[in-house]
Structure 1
């Protein structure tokens, strides 16, 4: 009988330990799910500082800008970026009041959707030209919005269009 009681106590302790371990795993899974949701919102490049692009000169000579020599506002979008699809309509509205360029990286139906949204923008660059411009400028995250000076130098950069407008009005 003593062995039976000891075995039942041992099984109870093991079950309690297993239960604690299961709760720890579930808590960790919730943390990972929250992190993945945050990443899906477009903030996946935490170490990316678009402000580091300030001072660079855009390589306009390599790119046909469809008649727009020096856009004041440039947006970099990626076809597979949900945040890009969310910010594109706001960019299209803002871009109607100034010389602007949309650079859309990627291909397929989602890229076509982005092109449709920004159709009223002064210039839209897609396909390989967009990919080469993304690399030349050094854009690491999407969307990235740039305010460009008359000489083609980036004067402000941000991942939120509203924040970029605030930066421009503060100067």
Structure 2
């Protein structure tokens, strides 16, 4: 009888130890799931594919009004900051790509985020290929509408089946379109 009691106690202790280890594994799996989700979204700099663009009303540097409704089919939208080194590196590629966009300048919007005095060179570079908007920070109307979280951001916008503008492509490869 004492052997039987000892065996039952031993099995109980082993089951309790197994339960504690299993709970530890479940906790680690939840942590890893959160880490993986963070890595998947780490490359995002603004709204993702299929997300609707918010309402906005801004004025371009040339005085043209620009609203969400003015974004036509297949519009290229980019956000740059003059204090961002990757933005300066990507700017020539973007300008070259924007020159090849069907519909020309009317299908390209570029937002330069920062102080206008610092942005003049970037604005002048973009003005020939895009409708340019200058915003002080990414919490201004255009940056908020696109959910900008980082720079540079280049997305392609198109209307969904209900006619609302959504992000069609959130990682645009800036390779010139060959006719």
Pair 1:70 & 2:71 matched: yes
Deviation of the 1:90 alpha carbon:
1.7
**Higher-RCO chain (CA-CA 8 Å, sequence separation at least 6):** 2
Q: Distance in 1 between matches of 2:139 and 2:77?
A: 14
Larger strand proportion of the pair = 2
Matches within 5 A, 1:1-171: 47-50=42-45, 52-64=47-59, 66=64, 69-70=70-71, 72-96=75-99, 97=101, 98=104, 99-128=107-136, 131-132=139-140, 133-150=142-159, 151-158=164-171, 161-162=173-174
- Check the 8 A contact 1:104/1:130 in 2, yes or no: no
Query: 1:127-156: CA deviations, max 9, x gaps?
Result: 348641213321111001001113421111
Q: TM-score, normalised on structure 1?
A: 0.57
**Unaligned residue ranges in structure 2 (runs of 5+):** 1-40
Q: How many residues matched?
A: 119
**Unaligned residue ranges in structure 1 (runs of 5+):** 1-45, 167-171
Q: Distance in 2 between matches of 1:108 and 1:51?
A: 22
Larger helix proportion of the pair = 1
Q: Which secondary structure does the structure 2 equivalent of 1:126 belong to?
A: strand
Q: Distance in 2 between matches of 1:161 and 1:107?
A: 28
